[in-house]
Amino acid sequence: MGNLIKVLTRDIDHNAAHFFLDFENAQPTESEKEIYNQVNVVLKDAEGILEDLQSYRGAGHEIREAIQHPNDEKLQEKAWGAVVPLVGKLKKFYEFSQRLEAGLRGLLGALTSTPYSPTQHLEREQALAKQFAEILHFTLRFDELKMTNPAIQNDFSYYRRTLSRMRINNVPAEGENEVNNELANRMSLFYAEATPMLKTLSDATTKFVSENKNLPIENTTDCLSTMASVCRVMLETPSRFTNEETVSFCLRVMVGVIILYDHVHPVGAFAKTSKIDMKGCIKVLKDQPPNSVEGLLNALRYTTKHLNDETTSKQIKSMLQ
């Protein structure tokens, strides 16, 4: 990611301390190692998942041919032969989302535990903060690619329709042992979401908060809002960056934590009482070349929970129009 980034930001705990977030070279300390290594095993596979998704072409042509010529056995077999390996890929993506969720929950546990404040955690556990950022960065990239690929849902629907037809006709289906009915139902719900990875993460964060009743919800929301302001400050001083990838990394992470905050915080990210400077964050997005941030602005428009609440100011609504 180019040059070493250190960002100076006001401490959200108002104790006037300043701290740095090194998104680039942070190395785990002894106490971070256990969680860090667990999450690292998951993150190692993230790039490969994105490459697979990027090269996902779909079986649209074979499916159309099979549907247009329902009595041509050869075409039916050809379409089924094309779809089965693709569904294997979709299964792999879905299973990765489950692993990512487990990694996120581990990180949340570490970054919100007492006695430290969220800011102290982010300051002390830079390597875990960086991994949290990497999970969000991956999530938004995955969802951007998925949103622009209608083949995914078409292939999966065709697979399920064909499978149930084969069952009715008692045809043995190879590939069915790949995805049983229960898994197919869960995958179907996952891919029906416009942004399936974000949905997985926001559900996981909400669940984390509700399962840890002894932990004040602020521990989680302050961790998210602090990360949002760190990214915003970084992006407001772009002269720090020599590498464009760093800018898109920070933009995605900022949008990701805003969405999580909006799902977890009782009144969300857009209310006046929110600890996230939403106007500042949206302005930073709008200052980028439009084609590079349209997907992120859409993520704020369509995957947040509270944007259309009455408590959201007209100004913020019109900024996102």
In this predicted structure, the answer to whether residue 2 has a pLDDT above a threshold of 50 is no
Coil, helix or strand at residue 206: helix
Looking at the domain assignment, is residue 1 inside a domain?
no
- If one counts the domains in the chain, the total is 1
Q: Cα–Cα distance between 315 and 92 in angstroms, integer? A: 42
Higher per-residue confidence, 241 vs 15: 241
Tokens of 224: 């998210």
Looking at the domain assignment, is residue 146 inside a domain?
yes
Q: What single DSSP character describes residue 9?
A: E
pLDDT bracket for residue 223 (50, 70, 90): confident
In this predicted structure, the answer to whether residue 218 has a pLDDT above a threshold of 90 is no
Minimum mean pLDDT range among 20-34, 198-212, 255-269: 20-34
Looking at the domain assignment, is residue 140 inside a domain?
yes
Q: What is the pLDDT, as a whole number, of residue 118?
A: 73
Q: What is the pLDDT, as a whole number, of residue 290?
A: 78
Q: What is the pLDDT, as a whole number, of residue 38?
A: 93
Q: Is the C-alpha dihedral spanning 98, 202, 321, 310 positive or negative?
A: positive
Q: Please provide the size of the chain in residues.
A: 321
Question: E strands within 264-305?
Answer: none
Q: How large is the average pLDDT for residues 67-78?
A: 94
Looking at the domain assignment, is residue 16 inside a domain?
no
Q: Is 263 exposed, middle or buried (0-12, 13-18, 19+ CB in 10 A)?
A: buried
In this predicted structure, the answer to whether residue 103 has a pLDDT above a threshold of 70 is yes
Looking at the domain assignment, is residue 126 inside a domain?
yes
Name residue 184's amino acid: A
Q: Cα–Cα distance between 198 and 157 in angstroms, integer? A: 22
236-289 confidence digits (pLDDT tens): 876 666 677 788 888 999 999 999 999 988 889 998 888 888 999 999 999 888
Tokens of 218: 């602020």
Domain that holds residue 178: 32-320
Q: Cα–Cα distance between 213 and 191 in angstroms, integer? A: 31
Looking at the domain assignment, is residue 240 inside a domain?
yes
Give bridge partners of residue 291 from the DSSP assignment.
Answer: none
Looking at the domain assignment, is residue 26 inside a domain?
no
**pTM (2 d.p.):** 0.86
Looking at the domain assignment, is residue 194 inside a domain?
yes
C-beta of residue 32 within 8 angstroms of C-beta of residue 127: yes
**Residue 129 belongs to what H/E stretch?**
helix 126-147
CA 254 vs. chain centroid, Å, equals: 11
pLDDT bracket for residue 177 (50, 70, 90): low
